[in-house]
A and B are shown apart, each in its own frame.
Chain A
Amino acid sequence: MGRKRRLSWAVLVDGRSIWTRNACPKVSQYGESLRRFQGVEHRRWDPTRSKLGAALARARHTQYDLLPDEGSTCLYLGAGHGTSLSHIHDQVCGTDNQLAGRIIAVDLSPRCLRDLIHMAKIRPGLVPILGDARKFSTWGVMVSTKVDWLFQDVSQAGQAEIFIDAANRFLKPGGKGLLSLKAASERWSGEGERVVFEGVAQQLLDAGFTIEEQINLHGLEDNHCLFYITN
């Protein structure tokens, strides 16, 4: 047993591993291990499969701030199969959405949405939307209020521009925004990923955001960097 500490009401760090309080007891969402801590079931957050998990593992001084508050409204662009999303749901909504949180998850692929819709059935508070993260006009109407927390993981060219637009459009003043940047998706200048990351950091600063921390996910998720910003 390692040294345990809590990042939030639902998230627990035990030595090197991260665990979240399972909102759907006995259900393992993507084959992660389940374990009881003081009688409450937790799911292991695999940092090699979730960029947000990797960021939590790698963050130096913002570990306690990265996650959304319980009961807040969140927007997740590029939800994929819902690996990170299920842990966010544990934190924001809890069992049967007792905390009255709202997570809007947008993804382009019908295949991924199939899994997300299935997940939404057992995890109320989760709203999967089939749509292109770049085209706000087609799904923006379903995000009726501004959000407290914005996460983007879309792996396509122009990630920073999409993120800046999305943050301006959907993020509440004082909200938190997280951009998971895949260097290989941007135009490759031949000077390496560090140059790409620096360019994006400058873009974010120019757009008027404050970069709280730039977390390099090297080793857990290669060629990726996670920017944590506030507006």
Chain B
Amino acid sequence: MWLWYDWRAAAVADDRGNILDIDEWSGWGDLDRLCARLDMVSHQAITPEVEVLLSRFPDAQVRIHGDPDLPDADWPLPSIEALQCLDKAAILISKRGVDAAAGDPDRRLEHILRASDELRAAYITIEGRLVEWVGLFLPEARFEQDRAGLAASVVDSNNLEELAQVLEIGMPERGPTDMEWDSLADWATSVCEIKNRLETMEEVVRELGANHLPSLSALLGPILASRLCVEAHGRARLARLPAGTMQILGAEKAFFNHLKTGAPPPKHGHIFMHPWVSRSPRWIRGKISRMLAAKATIAVRCDEFGGQLWDEEAIAVIADKVEFIREEYPYPPQR
């Protein structure tokens, strides 16, 4: 004996497909109740109609509509009106699903991080042009000490002479026309603006990253943690990566070149940005990044699967370990 059900009705039939009993739900006119009902069925919960029929036919085997076990029978399929309501509810459920995607921190992190990367790339180009531009008119000026302050000084000056005074250098014979100087000052204004915007944006990345990946952020810093998360297409996937993949995440080109041509494999990907790796001598970077990647996989698993979050103490243990590796290999290996 079989108990068939779908979102709207349930029915009992014997093995030859003769319908013995039917119980139908008539509340499908209400869109919200219908959505709740569909949600229930799609999570494999049984409907009240099934319970009613099950109390009458306790030995019937329960199968959802479309199951291959069910015999052919004249099951009480929904009417055209019910199907139209179903379509409306299905669209509403999809809409809710799409709305829920906005709450997904992985996607939000991806947009803000990529945006700040793009902004940084733009900043580097236009800031470089500003330095060259000013350097053309003031060949004596040197910006090594206070490169960051240059844009602000240009904005504050009304002409080249004032700028030369601020920079404490002499005026050259030839200078820009007034219009040209205005354009240069405009350019400096946008350098300042982009810099401010970039700082705000990176602050947001830090905040989002630290909330989404607390342990990994404590270990690697929120920006690097976010970058790894975005590179792995989400925290859930990052948490399932082996440490070896974590280590070379961001060095895909070098890695596939290694597989293809047998060139030496990359020792580090994005993880190189961490000062423990980049500020270590060349010959132990591989060792440290390997150890750090292994720790990072544990940290991100704590974040993803609700483990105990890492505190200062746990990080200090790893810092000691880095120190230990540095002390153990003070000299480059002999060839």
Binding site for B on A (CB under 8 A): 102, 104, 110-111, 113-114, 116-117, 120, 127-130, 136-145, 168-170
Verify A127–B66 contact, CB threshold 8 A.
no
Query: Which of B48-56, B90-98, B120-128, B282-290 faces chain A?
Result: B90-98
A189–chain B nearest beta-carbon distance, Å? 18
Residue of B nearest to A170 (CB): B66
Residue of A nearest to B5 (CB): A141
> B275 near A: Cβ within 8 Å?
no
Apart from A102-B87, A144-B86: 15 A-B pairs, beta carbons within 8 A: A111-B101, A113-B97, A113-B98, A114-B98, A127-B91, A128-B90, A128-B94, A129-B93, A130-B93, A140-B64, A141-B41, A141-B42, A144-B77, A144-B82, A144-B83
In the assembled complex, which residues on chain B have CB atoms less than 8 Å from the CB atom of A142? 38, 42, 86, 89-90, 93
Verify A137–B83 contact, CB threshold 8 A.
no
Q: How many A-B residue pairs have CB under 8 A?
A: 70
A141–chain B nearest beta-carbon distance, Å? 5
Verify A129–B68 contact, CB threshold 8 A.
no
Binding site for A on B (CB under 8 A): 6-8, 38, 41-42, 44, 64-66, 68, 77-78, 82-83, 86-87, 89-91, 93-95, 97-98, 100-101
Residue of B nearest to A139 (CB): B42
Other-chain contact of A144, B44, B78, B97, B98 (Cβ < 8 Å): B78
| Distance in angstroms between the alpha carbons of A137 and B94 in the assembled complex | 16
Verify B7–A102 contact, CB threshold 8 A.
no
| Distance in angstroms between the alpha carbons of A130 and B76 in the assembled complex | 27
Verify B6–A141 contact, CB threshold 8 A.
yes
Verify B94–A129 contact, CB threshold 8 A.
yes
**Between-chain CB contacts (< 8 Å), 13 pairs:** A102-B83, A102-B87, A113-B94, A128-B90, A130-B97, A138-B42, A141-B64, A142-B38, A144-B6, A144-B82, A144-B86, A145-B77, A145-B78
Verify A129–B90 contact, CB threshold 8 A.
yes
